[in-house]
Structure 1
Amino acid sequence: MERKGRRGGGRAARVAARAAALPDDLRPIRPGMAGGTLKVLTEAQVQQIHEAALQALETIGLADAPPSGIAAMVGVGAIHGADGRLRFPRQVVEDALGQAARGITLPGRDPAHDLHLTGTKVHYGTAGAAVHIVDPASNSYRESTAQDLYNAARITQVLDNVNFFQRPMVCRDVADNLEMDLNSIYASVAGTTKHVGMSFSDPSHVAPCMELIHMLAGGEEAWRARPFISNSNCFVVPPMKFATESCETMEHCIRAGMPVLLLSAGMAGATAPSTIAGAVTQATAECLAGMVYVNAIQPGHPAIFGTWPFGLDLRTGAMCLGSGEQALLSSACAQMHQFYGLPGGAAGGASDSKMPDMQAGWEQMCSNVMAGLSGLNMVYEAAGMHASLLGFCLESLILSDDLIGQAMRCVRGIEVNEETLALDQMAEVCLGGTGHYLGTDKTLALMQCDFVYPTLGNRMSPKEWEENQKPDLMSAAIARKEAILDEARAQVAPDLDRAVRDRYAMYFQC
């Protein structure tokens, strides 16, 4: 009896401890856990892709660079041919790789959300430019608004496993493109203190947008010390062409101290070769050209190697982001990033399904798990994205937090050591013990730091489920969305909000 009382007291203490948040070092999963255990390419295949990319740059090159880009890249040894294409000798690429920034940090406004992009550390976040918001309650789509973008940022702020917020949808209610860029920046920053990714629709918009960003940062010096917004830049139009205006935008962003994502988004079978190896090779070549470009403008400027080749359903010409081929594309890209020792990102976790249904679940999990296991530094579009990037769903964003949590547990892997082999536990339980491990000190001690528990995923028995009025996953997601939006507050001070709104037309309410 005395022993039972002591055990019960210890259990009560553990129950109380479980109610409190775990310190970061004891959490079973956390941002930046190291992946890299999955290798979809052999070392020889990685080398083959590298050599093919270098050959493509030397013999095919890229067209349509702006005059400023041509001057910068010719200045470091690129060759501007009579056909207008820039070609890159091997040494030019190797020199750029030697100058390229490694081990970069993408700051959040809150340092607790800084992203350290080194090695095989994995981070999941949103991205995309969806033009619709998905409404599961009415099983319908409507145009996305600035208020939707702000709400998505507010939800992301409270989700443990969504580590950054790259703008996932377009503010379709803002007709003027400059005002749309300004609203996109402010809606994102007002909603979350995590790192934000942003695109600009015109090179001339960078300067006025930087004025707003400096306001939000507390001045240009504070901004340059901690640039909490990065530029997602589609600097190429595959196959093997620079996107002239986007390149001009990129140059402005570099000079403004903004990290850049060099985004090559070819579609395998349309704007990139249909083979997985060919699509990865082309994306690698294009992003290597981007690294030459960035480092010709400013050596060592933080740039993410953004190989984003997408899958294509060759029967219809539709994108198929939820396919096994997509998962392989992004996993292979992760290996190429690691080969160069560069911070890298690719797409993972998007679905072709129109609603958060079973199809969405298998598609989102497949590429999210494989990208994480491959050690992809930045897994973009990992949460909330549907209809092959045309629709974004707030409820799916919430459900993705659970899904990514399970993916990250896979990334963490299996620890094998004297303690985890558990021979002492076996002896205690089997030799005169209870005959089971339920309730033992070791089991109770590890239940929080070794196991990931879903927030909304339902693990009830059928009997419990029926006794609890058969709770439905989507209804739970809708309810949590409404609770978050009821409770979440703006992540900017009221006086700063007033100052921003006095100066700019904002299309959403905090």
Structure 2
Amino acid sequence: MPGGRYRPLTDADVQKIHHAALEALETIGLADAPPSGVEILTKAGAVQGDDGRIRFSPALVEDSLALACKSFTLHGRDPRHDLELGGARVHYGTAGAAVNMVDVDGRNYRHSTVQDLHDAARIVQQLDNVHFLQRPMVCRDIEDNREMDLNSIYACCAGTTKHIGMSFSEPDFALSGLELLHMIAGGEDAWRARPFMSNTNCFVVPPLKFATEACQVMENCIRGGMPVLLLSAGMAGATAPSTVAGAITQAVAECLAGVVYVNAVKPGHPAIFGTWPFGLDLRTGAMCVGSGEQALLSSGCAQMHQFYGIPGGAAGGACDSKLPDMQAGWEQMCSNVMTGLAGLNMVYEAAGMHASLLGFCHESLILSDDLIGQAMRCVRGIEVDDETLALDQMREVCLGGPGHYLGTGQTMARMERDHVYPSLGNRMSPKEWDEMGKPDLIANAIAKKEAILSQPSPVAFEPSVDQDIRARFNIHLPR
């Protein structure tokens, strides 16, 4: 579904941000590249100064943009869930590294587990409007980081056949992860033909520093045929300039450095331009991902992705509210709608994320399916043609007709096309609501969660594949 109708930046604004980002790369550069990165980037034409910083000429950046992959498919294990990235096509999904789960019954928080991650994957599989699953939480019940990374892959893939996203704690863990993915895919050739997982890679530590180990992870993933999300997550007012334009400019500069890096390793490798500047409440220093400023940050980034003509992603749909309440609703809808209208290819954090990325909620994930459905209707916009102008209907209804449009052939024919109907949202009259026992939104979400999780995962691995995986890796989820 294409967006792009909403443009918070003028064409002149976009040019100013672009040229400022180029100037930052040429005059400030990035520090802390790993030795392998220094070799890769300097061979491509970047220059390492006496201060150790890597600087990039505008010509090098432009040459790398020319090599960059302009559109590609993020595969699901099931081809029905393939996502075509490019232009202003919009997709919504989860993301993050929440360390807690929201317990809506007890109104409290607890540590997230591998079972919680698996359950989230199983829920996402059943939600039509949540298009991909980037790991939304960490498995705090697994202390060994290598086992946590591998079990995260297992938990997600055993729960959904949609595209998944994952990070790796250390470079060697990426190699083990690729081995696991080959087993799930049915061999390395099958994996390389349809890589159903992308690497979420925080290759920079804002402001303007490379993340040494993450860069090495990225190199391994590129060589292993895995798409990468080049993630720059500065916080406006702390690790990025406090102004919306400044935070976007720094994120663009950092991700342009990533474009040079990726295409120096492998020209044309699939990479998502992951400008993720976050809002900050300057009164307290707390993140404010549910703010209007956040919606503007991510929407402006969407315009920059389209300016460069390469697939991009940013944060949208997360909230600062601790529970799925009215605050969560307005915060989640604001940035989901605005980023979608701006044509953001990948709207990350779009479902289930609370407490400024510290808590994930299964019930909120389910409710977000309705919310994103309404956001997508806004993205689709208004169709104006002879049929939708409906002059023929007006004549038929008003000149000797029934005087209303209820039940007419045209109304019935277009009711599914023109309207989005919530699955849990309540549109009853107060009288009907009372007669039906006053159904509660959260209670209905809990009931839907329990119904989904009461059944075995429909996409679980074949027993022989599962047995081989468990013989090779220490899988923490019970059979």
Same fold (TM over 0.5): yes
Q: Which amino acid aligns with 2:200?
A: S
1:494 correspondence with 2:453: no
Tell me which residue corresponds to 2:413.
445
Q: Cα distance, 1:490 vs. partner?
A: 4.7
Matched position secondary structure for 2:155: helix
CA offsets 1:110-166 (integer angstroms, 9 cap, x no match): 011001001100000000000001010111111000000000000000100000000
Tell me which residue corresponds to 1:43.
11
Gaps of 5+ in 2: none
1:506 correspondence with 2:475: yes
1:208 correspondence with 2:176: yes
Q: Which amino acid aligns with 2:241?
A: P
8 Å contact kept, 1:101–1:301: yes
Tell me which residue corresponds to 1:69.
37
Matched position secondary structure for 2:165: strand
Q: Which amino acid aligns with 1:135?
A: D
- Tell me the distance in 2 between the aligned counterparts of 1:504 and 1:341: 40
Q: Cα distance, 1:487 vs. partner?
A: 2.4
- Tell me the distance in 2 between the aligned counterparts of 1:489 and 1:71: 46
Tell me which residue corresponds to 1:390.
358
| 1:2-13 correspondence runs (5 A) | none
- Tell me the distance in 1 between the aligned counterparts of 2:433 and 2:247: 47
- Tell me the distance in 1 between the aligned counterparts of 2:191 and 2:202: 23
Q: Cα distance, 1:502 vs. partner?
A: 2.4
| 1:155-194 correspondence runs (5 A) | 155-194=123-162
Mean CA deviation greater in 481-490 or 407-416: 481-490
RMSD (CA atoms): 0.7
Match of 1:483 among 451, 454, 460: 451
1:377 correspondence with 2:342: no
TM-score by length of 2: 0.99
Q: Cα distance, 1:206 vs. partner?
A: 1.2
Q: Which amino acid aligns with 1:106?
A: L
Q: Cα distance, 1:402 vs. partner?
A: 0.2
| 1:425-464 correspondence runs (5 A) | 425-464=393-432
Q: 1:490 to 1:497 in 2, by over 3 A?
A: farther
Tell me which residue corresponds to 1:418.
386
8 Å contact kept, 1:429–1:437: yes
1:59 correspondence with 2:31: no
8 Å contact kept, 1:154–1:488: no
Mean CA deviation greater in 69-78 or 495-504: 495-504
8 Å contact kept, 1:147–1:509: no
Matched position secondary structure for 2:416: coil
CA offsets 1:340-376 (integer angstroms, 9 cap, x no match): 0000000000000000000000000000000000000
- Tell me the distance in 2 between the aligned counterparts of 1:44 and 1:509: 56
TM-score by length of 1: 0.93
1:88 correspondence with 2:56: yes
- Tell me the distance in 2 between the aligned counterparts of 1:490 and 1:498: 17
Greater Rg by CA: 1
Q: Cα distance, 1:76 vs. partner?
A: 1.2
Q: Which amino acid aligns with 1:153?
A: A
- Tell me the distance in 1 between the aligned counterparts of 2:463 and 2:354: 34
Tell me which residue corresponds to 1:225.
193
Q: Which amino acid aligns with 1:245?
A: E
Matched position secondary structure for 1:304: strand
Q: Cα distance, 1:507 vs. partner?
A: 1.7
- Tell me the distance in 2 between the aligned counterparts of 1:493 and 1:413: 43
Q: Which amino acid aligns with 1:414?
A: I
CA offsets 1:308-367 (integer angstroms, 9 cap, x no match): 000000000000000000000000000000000000000000000000000000000000
Match of 1:337 among 305, 308, 315: 305
CA offsets 1:475-506 (integer angstroms, 9 cap, x no match): 00000000011125251222212222222222
Matched position secondary structure for 2:369: helix
| 1:18-417 correspondence runs (5 A) | 33-417=1-385
- Alignment coverage as a number of residue pairs: 478
8 Å contact kept, 1:133–1:141: yes
Matched position secondary structure for 1:379: strand
